[in-house]
C-alpha cells in the first residue's frame, strides 16, 4: 500500500453499498459486446469499491481481480463479491504479469488515480486487442428545488472536505482518448434516471467522501442527516425524487 494513500470511504462502506445504485445493465452489455467469446479468461476491476462492477463481471469471466486500496471498502467488497480475487492495494502499485488480462474496468474512480501510471499499467496487463473500459457519471441531478438543497451543502459545510480532484474530473474522457497505445472503440452516454426516496437520496450523500467526512466532525451526525432528509422531502413535495445518474462509457482497445 502506498504511504500516500488516504482512506476516504472505508468508514462509509455500508452506506456506499446500500445507497449507491448499480450501473445500468446496458453499460456492461456494451463492454461485453466488445470482447470476443474466447476473450473471457480474466477481467480486472480497478478502484472496485464495494464491487458494483465486479459483481456484473463475475458471471462472464473465469477470473475477476478486484483492486481496491481502502481496507474498509476492500472488506465490504470481499463480502459482496465473494467469487472475486480481492487485492487491497492501489491500481498504481498492483502487480500483474504482462499480457494476461482481457478486460480492465475503472468505474467512477479514475479521478482518484495517477492517470499516466495507471494507463501504463493497464496497457502492460492487457493482451493485444484487450479492452479498457472507463465509465463515470457527473454529480447527480434531479428536481431544481432538490438540487438547490444539495448545492447549499456543497458550497457550505461539505466544501472544506471535498478533494480538489473531484472538481477537475470533467476531462477524463479526453485523457482516455489520448492514452498511448490504445484505439477508441466506442463512446456512449447511457440514460439512467433512478427513482429515490428522500431517505435514499440522503444516503447517497452520506456515502460521499466529503459528506461522510463532515458528518464525522459532528457530535450528532444522525440528527444532521435527518434534517437533510427532511429538506429533500420538503423540496420534493413528498414525491419520489428522480435522480439522473447517467454514465458515460469510453471503450478502448490495446494496439
- Cell numbers at residue 4, please? 500516500
Cα–Cα distance, 255 to 252 (Å, whole number)? 9
The answer to whether residue 1 is domain-embedded is no
What is the tens place of the pLDDT at every residue in 19-39?
999 999 999 999 999 999 899
**Number of structural domains, the chain?**
1
CA 93-96-99 angle, 5° bins = 135
pLDDT at residue 1 is higher than 50: no
| Domain enclosing residue 178, as ranges | 10-254
* Residue 56 located in a structural domain: yes
Spatial distance between the Cα atoms of 164 and 183, rounded to a whole number of angstroms: 30
CA distance 65 to 63: 7
> Which tens digits make up the pLDDT trace of 178-226?
999 999 999 999 999 999 999 999 999 999 999 999 999 999 999 999 9
Q: Is 5 part of a structural domain of the chain?
A: no
Compare 246 and 1 and report the one with higher pLDDT.
246
Contact assessment for residue 105 and residue 45, using Cβ atoms and an 8 Å cutoff: yes
Residue 55 in this model has a pLDDT that exceeds 60: yes
Residue 54 lies in a domain: yes
- Average pLDDT over every residue of 232-239: 95
Q: Is residue 91 part of a domain?
A: yes
Among candidates 246, 235, 148, which has minimal Cα distance to 193?
A: 246
What's the whole-number average pLDDT of the chain?
Answer: 94
Residue 2 has pLDDT above 50, yes or no: no
Looking at the domain assignment, is residue 136 inside a domain? yes
Q: CA–CA separation, 164 vs 14, rounded Å?
A: 25
pLDDT at 30: 97
If phi > 0 it is left, if psi is from -120 to 50 it is alpha, else beta; for residue 139 that is beta
Can you read off the three cell numbers belonging to residue 161? Answer: 472536505
Is 4 inside any structural domain?
no
Angle between helices 221-235 and 198-206 (to 10 degrees): 130
Residue 72 within any structural domain of the chain: yes
Q: pLDDT tens across 114-168, in order?
A: 999 999 999 999 999 999 999 999 899 999 999 999 999 999 999 999 988 887 6
CATH number of the domain that residue 241 is part of:
3.40.50.150
Amino acid at each position: 500500500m502506498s504511504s500516500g494513500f488516504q482512506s476516504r470511504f472505508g468508514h462509509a462502506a455500508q452506506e456506499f453499498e446500500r445507497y449507491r445504485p448499480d450501473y445500468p445493465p446496458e453499460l456492461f452489455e456494451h463492454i461485453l459486446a466488445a470482447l470476443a467469446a474466447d476473450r473471457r479468461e480474466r477481467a480486472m476491476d480497478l478502484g472496485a469499491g464495494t464491487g458494483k462492477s465486479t459483481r456484473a463481471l463475475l458471471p462472464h469471466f473465469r477470473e475477476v481481480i478486484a483492486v481496491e486500496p481502502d481496507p474498509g471498502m476492500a472488506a465490504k467488497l470481499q463480502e459482496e463479491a465473494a467469487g472475486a480475487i480481492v487485492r487491497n492495494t492501489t491500481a498504481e502499485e498492483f502487480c500483474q504479469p504482462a499480457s494476461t488480462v482481457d478486460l480492465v474496468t475503472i468505474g467512477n474512480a479514475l479521478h482518484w488515480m495517477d492517470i499516466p501510471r495507471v494507463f501504463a499499467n493497464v496497457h502492460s496487463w492487457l493482451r493485444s486487442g484487450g479492452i479498457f473500459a472507463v465509465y463515470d457519471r457527473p454529480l447527480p441531478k434531479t428536481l431544481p428545488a432538490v438540487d438547490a438543497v444539495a448545492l447549499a451543502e456543497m458550497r457550505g459545510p461539505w466544501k472544506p472536505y471535498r478533494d480538489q480532484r473531484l472538481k477537475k474530473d470533467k476531462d477524463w474522457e479526453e485523457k482516455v482518448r489520448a492514452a498511448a497505445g490504445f484505439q477508441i472503440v466506442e463512446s456512449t452516454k447511457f440514460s439512467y434516471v433512478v427513482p429515490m426516496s428522500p431517505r435514499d437520496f440522503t444516503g447517497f450523500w452520506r456515502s460521499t467522501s466529503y459528506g461522510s467526512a463532515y458528518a464525522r466532525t459532528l457530535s450528532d451526525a444522525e440528527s444532521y442527516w435527518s434534517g437533510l432528509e427532511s429538506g429533500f422531502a420538503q423540496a420534493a413535495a413528498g414525491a419520489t425524487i428522480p435522480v439522473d445518474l447517467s454514465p458515460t462509457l469510453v471503450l478502448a482497445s490495446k494496439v
